[in-house]
Structure 1
């Protein structure tokens, strides 16, 4: 049996495992072990590579810290206040609650940097509200899944940190480059939600109230402060993205501890779930629910569980990239892409590869495996490295709602109880909106580089 046949059989085998629901980490791990035996590579190399990824990658330390930040702002009640503010601004429009959910995803993403955390948090909070408000439950769940795509584009972004680590690009520049594209993604999805809601007459409208907007803005002040703290610190150079993550975690813990007794004193046992913001005083809105020291271990454990899923996936994907390099896959892909022709041919071929890969793999392995291959090719034809990073990662984020993988669809299904396959038809309008923005970003470099200093 030839080596090529063995490679094919191993690849088919792990593909079957993936289709049967085996976790992606194990699927890639089995492939790596099989290829190591075939190429006579020592298994010790796998262990060494897994260790090196995190002992040599200071930037990757930001990942678990931003994941913890997302859980802290959710438990403290800050995320709920951000969603209340978004609904106050948009609830008077047909489809306003759906649009508010997408806006809340953008605000939550600006603190957490995680797609799955964004989908899970906003989905669990607003899906019941959307269903009670007259929206189709499948559309509501699909909206949460689609909104989560901006979790890795709007800064701070976990995947931008990984990309910058791999390609040796300034992470702060990558964060700045994601602001306009991430905003456009939210606006495009809001437009799709408005059209669908208007067509189907979904949603109960609330009156536009300046007082309600002011009150909810006051209620969300801690969320705005956290967003401003991260962006100010990184863009002024006061601290690195990793340090920013640590500062944000510390801020959220202090806020949580201080807020709990104040919240109980001011609210007199009343919660944030009262149906009308008008029932709350300004002093009640000023303080969030918070959490106590005894709750911190459970919050940290939840974040650790998510990190425990993502971190090994990054590490084993790095080993996969090394094996692909030994097999000559990088040269084959490079020759294929370069052979397509000039600037636009290379650009759109690279985008197609990212899109197809995102349909079957999570964004982390897609980034780790393909970015080091495609980014140098893009640079050869004159594509700005920062712009290509944004193009690459927007394409990877679209993969979160494209079957058969579609991580956000699984997350949304889990937190809402809507079956996975029932979500798929309702993701199509959001896919169209996101792909339209993706093409626009690829054709207009200034959308990625306009805010960068010296550009």
Structure 2
């Protein structure tokens, strides 16, 4: 039996395991080890590669720290204040609460950098409120799932850290390049949300109150400060993305621990509606006790413990694919297309299809080293291509059969996975539209970088 036949049989076997519910981590590991045996790679190579991934990976240290930041921001109550602000701005529109959920996803993503954390946090907070407001529970859950896609695009972003580490690109530049595309993703989903809500007459409208907007904005000042701190530090070069992650973790712990006794002294019930809270209570957030910190760290460590081995085995898989000649096959296919736009569109198609069956981390680790050099060879800017690549990877979070965000939303809302698909498909249309816009207009990802028109404007103003 030839090596090619054995590899095909192994691939079919692990695909069956995946369809039966085997975790993707084990599926990739089984495939990598078995194919290594077939092609004669020693098993100690696998062990060495698993260790070498993080041997010099200082940049990857930001990943668990940003995950922890998201949990601290949620636990402290800052995430709730951000969602209150979004609702006060949009609640007067049809579908305002659902659009506020999407806006809150964007704001939370600007602190956490995680798609699953964004979906779980906003979904658990706002799904009950949306169903009470007359929204279809399937639409409410799908909104949280779709909103979570910006978790890896709006900086800080875990997946941008991995991409920059793999491709030796400045992570700070990648972060800045994701700001406008991430904002466009949120606006595109809001537009779709408004249309669907208007057609179904969903949502309870609240009057637009400038006082309420100002009050909730003041109440969310700690969240805005955290977002500004990260972006300012990275944009000005005051600290690296990894150092920024450490700063935000420290910020989250200090704010959470100090706010708890202050909030108790004010004797304000956290469940009191915003309109009824005294203005002075908006100075601080609910916070948490110092003894709660280990629990939050433990929960974050569980998520990091899932993602970290996935990165390692995906790197091994990428190496095995290289030895099998997969990169040459894909490379020859793309080069045969010829030209800037054919390569760009074919790369997008490959990323989209891969995102339907794999999580964004293995998609990035396996495909980026293959596609990015070919894209660069036809004149596609590496930073622009990274944004196009990762926006496509993020869309995979709501594309079946994998659709990680759909599973997360289903878990936190109780709505069965397959019942989410009807409304997630509508958001999928809006996200793909934005994806093509970002791909065909490179300036959208370069506007804030040196050479971009807005960078020049801001530098001139400074």
TM-score by length of 1: 0.99
Q: Counterpart in 2 of 1:406?
A: 403
Residues 268 and 281 in structure 2, CA contact (< 8 A), matched pair in contact too: no
Q: Counterpart in 1 of 2:455?
A: none
| SS, match of residue 193 in structure 2 | helix
Q: Counterpart in 1 of 2:238?
A: 238
Q: Counterpart in 2 of 1:221?
A: 221
Residues 134 and 203 in structure 2, CA contact (< 8 A), matched pair in contact too: yes
Q: Counterpart in 1 of 2:456?
A: none
Q: Counterpart in 2 of 1:447?
A: 444
Q: CA deviation at 1:454?
A: 2.9
Q: CA deviation at 1:158?
A: 0.4
Q: Counterpart in 1 of 2:457?
A: none
2: CA distance, partners of 1:236 / 1:454: 16
Provide the aligned length of Structure 1 versus Structure 2. Answer: 452
Deviations 1:143-178 (A, max 9, x none): 000000000000010000000000000111101100
Deviations 1:226-272 (A, max 9, x none): 00000011111110000000000001101011100001111x1511x
Residues 268 and 277 in structure 2, CA contact (< 8 A), matched pair in contact too: no
1:34-433 matches, cutoff 5 A? 34-266=34-266, 268=267, 270-271=269-270, 273-274=271-272, 276-433=273-430
Q: CA deviation at 1:450?
A: 1.0
Q: Which residues of structure 1 form unaligned runs of 5+?
A: none
Deviations 1:118-150 (A, max 9, x none): 000000000000000110000000000000000
2: CA distance, partners of 1:427 / 1:341: 34
2: CA distance, partners of 1:17 / 1:425: 27
Residues 150 and 185 in structure 2, CA contact (< 8 A), matched pair in contact too: yes
Q: CA deviation at 1:36?
A: 1.3
Deviations 1:27-49 (A, max 9, x none): 00000110111112111111111
1:5-44 matches, cutoff 5 A? 5-44=5-44
| SS, match of residue 356 in structure 2 | helix
Residues 138 and 423 in structure 2, CA contact (< 8 A), matched pair in contact too: yes
Q: CA deviation at 1:182?
A: 0.3
TM-score by length of 2: 0.97
| SS, match of residue 360 in structure 1 | coil
Deviations 1:277-302 (A, max 9, x none): 11001111111011111100100000
2: CA distance, partners of 1:424 / 1:292: 39
1:437 to 424, 434, 437: 434
Q: Which residues of structure 2 form unaligned runs of 5+?
A: 453-462
2: CA distance, partners of 1:282 / 1:36: 64
2: CA distance, partners of 1:383 / 1:90: 38
1: CA distance, partners of 2:219 / 2:18: 44
